[in-house]
Structure 1
C-alpha cells in the first residue's frame, strides 16, 4: 500500500512502529473482512471456498501492510499477489466489482486500524499519519488497478479460449462428425437450440485487389449468422426463427454479396449441419465457374444431380452432344447458346430471338440443326430432359 512521496525519518519511524502492531492484528482483521464481505454479497462464498478466501485475504493484507513501511526499491509483493488474485478471481467467476470492493474495503479496515494504533500508542504522531494518508490510499488504488488489469486480461483470454472452443465445435459439426454430445455442447456455446431450423450458406470469395469486400451479416430479421472462413470461400450457419424461410435468407444475402453462393435446404438440428454444408456446396457448384448470385439448392435440383455425379455427367454429354463436340468451337457455342436462350425463354422462339439479337426463323433453324446432330427432338419430353441436363453438365464442366 506504499506511496511514492519521499518520507522523512520521523514518518518512516511512525509507519514502521504502527505496521509491526498492525501485522499482529491481521488475523482478526481478516475475520472481520470475511464476515463483512459475506454480508455484502453471498457471491463471495459461492465463488471462493471460505478457507481459501481467508488465507488469501490474510496474505494480501500482510503484503499490503509490509509495503507501507518498505523502501521504494523493495520488491512489491503486494502487487504481485494482487495480479495473481486478479487472475484467479476471473477464473472463479467472481464479478470484478466485488473483487474491487473487497480490496478497497480492506484498505478502509487497515486505515481505521492504523488510526486506532497510533491514537493509542503515540497520539502525538497522528498529524504525521494524516499527512501520509494520500500515500496510503495511492497504494490501495495501485493494488486495485493491478488486480483489475489482471482480471480483465484473464477474462479476455478465457473468452478467446471459449470462442475458439465453440468455433471448433461448429467446425466439427460442419464436417459432419458424430461425436456424442457434440451438438449439445455447440448449442450451449452458441446459445442456440440443439433442435431447430438451420441452413448453411457457402459463398465463394475472391480476395483480389480492387474487389468490393464481402460484407458479412451477423443478424437480420429472424436470422442469426455464424460465419467460418476458409481459403477461398466462407461458410455460414444460419439459425432461422419460426416463419422465416429460405426466401428471406436469400434476399438478405443478395443485398450483401455478388456471389456466387449456395444455400442448403432447411435442416432440423445442429447435428445435421454436415449434411447441410454438403448440400450448400452442391448448390454452389450449380453456379458454374463464372456465375454470380446466390443459388438455393431446392430451386436447382436437376442441375445439382448432374454436378453431383461428374462421371455420369461426362457420359451424358458424350451420349447426347457427341456429334456437337466435333464441330468448330464457335459453331458449337452458337448452337448451345441458342438452346440455352430458348429454354430460359420457356420455349418461345420469338423471345429467344430478341435475347440473341436475331430473327425467330434463325432460332428455329439452329434448333432443327441441333435436333439433327443429336438425333433428339425438343418436342419429346424425355429427349428435352436429356438435352437440358446435358446442357447443364456441359456448361458447368
Structure 2
C-alpha cells in the first residue's frame, strides 16, 4: 500500500495501475498496432508475416489479462505472452522486431501512466510504487516473449537442419527424379541457381562433431550459397559458384577458416553433383599437413589415383577431358593420336609430323588445342603425367566399347 499525499488515504499501487492502464486502452492498442504495421517489417499483410488484425488481437489479449491480473492481485497469464513469442517465430518475425513491439506497448502505456499520475497529483511514494509495478509486469511479459521465441527458434533451426541434411543427401546420391526436382530442392535449400556447383568434403576429426559448425553462415557472408550435412566421416556441402575465379576464392575462404582435410570437386553442373561428391572425396584423400584444402583437377595429380578402379578413372577422364570427349569422333581422334605419336617421338614435333605425314604447324596446333581444352601444360611434368593416364585410358575405353 502507498499513501496518497493529497487525501492522505492508502492507495493500492496495482489497483491504481489497473485503473490508469484500462483508461483509453483500446485506442492506444490500435495506435501501437498501426505503428507496428508501418515501421516493423515483420508485421505486415504479407502471407509470411503477421497481419494488422492479428497483431491487434495479441496485444489486446495480453493487455486485458495484465489489467485483470492487477485487479485480482495475481500473476499475469504468461501463456499469452509465450503464445505471441511462438507466433512471431512461426511467422519469421525477427526477435528484435518482437521486442520492438513489446517496447512500443510499454512506451505507450508509460506515457499515459506518467500523465495520469501528474493529473491525479499522487504522492511521490505512490508514483514510485505504481511505476515499479508497471515495470515488473512489463518485464515478466517481455521475458516470456523472448524465452519462448528463442526456444521455438532453436527447434525451428533443428528441424530445418534435419530436413536440409536429407535434401543434401538426396542431391549427393542422385535421388532426384528429374532436373526440375533437382533445382527445386536446391532452391528449397536457399541455394540460388548458378552456372556451376562445387561439392566440398571436410574430414571429421571426432565422431559427431562438425569440423566447421557455422560453415553455412560463414560462406554466406562471403556471398556463397551452400547447404551441408554431417556424416560419420565427413562434413559435406554443396556450394553455388559463379565462375572458376569464384571457385579459387572459395578455396581461399576455406583456407582462412582453417578447414582441415578438405577436398573440392571443381565446378560441376547441378545434375553432376553426385559425381562431384566422388571427386571431392578423392581430393580430400590427397590432403596432407602442407596442403589441407585441395581442389580436384587443379591440385590433385591424376597419377595419384592411377591404380584406382576403372570407375574412378572414368570419373577422372570425364572431368579432365570434359572439353575433348564431346568432340566429333574424327576431331577427337586426331587430337588424341597426335598426342600419342608425340609421346612416342619423345616430344619432337618434327618427328611427330613425319610419322603422321602432316605439317609441323598442324602438329603444334593440335597440341596447343589439347592444352587449351584441358587447361594443362605439356611442359609441366605433373600435367603431362596426368594427360598420359587420362588419354590412354580414354582411348582404350573407346576401343573396347566401340564408342564414337
The TM-score by the shorter chain falls in which range? 0.5 to 0.7
Q: How far off is 1:248 after superposition? A: 8.4
Q: Deviations over 1:62-120 (max 9, x none)?
A: 1222233443xx3431x332121111112223333332233233234334545666677
Deviations 1:277-328 (A, max 9, x none): 24555778999xxxx996757824754454659xxxxxxxxxxxxxxxxxxx
> In the alignment, which residue of structure 2 is the partner of 1:355?
none
- Shift of the 135–178 alpha-carbon distance from structure 1 to 2, 3 Å rule, reads same
Question: What are the superposed Cα offsets for residues 230-254 of structure 1, whole Å, 9 maximum, x if unpaired?
Answer: 3334544354442339888889989
Question: 2:203 touches 2:260 (CA, 8 Å); kept in 1?
Answer: no
* 2-structure distance, mates of 1:70, 1:298: 79
Aligned to 2:99: 100
Asked if 1:166 corresponds to 2:164, the answer is: yes
TM-score normalized with structure 2 length: 0.55
Cα distance in 1 for residues equivalent to 2:82 and 2:214: 39
In 2, the alpha carbon distance for the partners of 1:34 and 1:293 equals 53
Q: Distance in 1 between matches of 2:114 and 2:275?
A: 72
Q: Does 1:268 align with 2:269?
A: yes
Structure 2 contact 265–280 (Cα < 8 Å) conserved: yes
1:231 equivalent in structure 2: 232
Paired with 2:121 and 2:223, the residues of 1 have a C-alpha distance of 73
Say which of 130, 143, 159 aligns to 2:127. 130
SS of 2:175 mapped into structure 1: coil
Superposed, 1:219-368 pairs within 5 Å as: 228-244=229-245, 264=265, 266-269=267-270, 271-280=271-280, 299-300=302-303, 303-306=307-310
1:151 lines up with 2:144 in the alignment: no
Q: Following TM superposition, by how much is the alpha carbon of 1:7 offset from its aligned partner in structure 2, in angstroms?
A: 6.2
CA distance in 1, matches of 2:139, 2:172: 49
Structure with larger RCO (C-alpha < 8 A, sep 6+): 1
2:61 aligned to which of 37, 59, 62: 59
Deviation at 1:53, TM superposition (A): 2.3
Taking the aligned partners of 1:160 and 1:195, their CA distance within structure 2 comes to: 27
Structure 2 residue matching 1:267: 3-state secondary structure: coil
Provide the C-alpha distance between the structure 1 equivalents of 2:194 and 2:103, rounded to a whole number of angstroms. Answer: 47
Shift of 1:161: 2.5
Quote the offset at 1:176 in angstroms.
0.7
In 2, Cα distance between the equivalents of 1:225 and 1:188? 11
Larger Rg: 1
> Which ranges of structure 1 fall in alignment gaps of 5 or more residues?
1-5, 310-345, 347-380, 390-397
Measured against aligned partners, the alpha-carbon deviations of 1:186-229 in whole angstroms (never above 9, x if no partner) come to 43355433343234355666759xxxx97899579998876543
Alignment deviations for residues 21-46 of structure 1 (CA, whole Å, 9 cap, x no partner): 75474333333333343454465333
1:163 is paired with a residue of what secondary structure?
A: helix
Summarize the Cα distance change of 1:303–1:224 in structure 2 as closer, same or farther, 3 Å threshold: farther
TM-score between the two structures when normalised by the length of structure 1: 0.56
In 1: Cα distance, 2:95 partner to 2:161 partner: 21
Q: Is the 8 A contact 2:164 2:189 kept in 1?
A: yes
State the SS of the aligned residue for 2:170: helix
The change in CA–CA distance for 1:101 and 1:177 in structure 2 (over 3 A counts) is same
Give CA deviations for 1:358-377 in whole Å, capped at 9, x if unaligned. xxxxxxxxxxxxxxxxxxxx
CA pair 224-101 structure 1, distance change in 2 beyond 3 A? closer
* Distance change in 2, residues 1:15/1:187 (3 Å): same
Query: What per-residue deviation string (whole Å, max 9, x for no partner) do you get for residues 252-294 of structure 1?
Result: 98997886x876453122x32123224555778999xxxx996
Root-mean-square deviation (CA, aligned residues, Å) is 4.8
C-alpha change, 1:90 and 1:272, in structure 2 (3 Å) is same
From the two aligned structures, give the one with the greater helix fraction: 1
Q: Is the 8 A contact 1:87 1:151 kept in 2?
A: yes
Question: What is the match of residue 182 of structure 2?
Answer: 183
Q: How many residues align?
A: 294
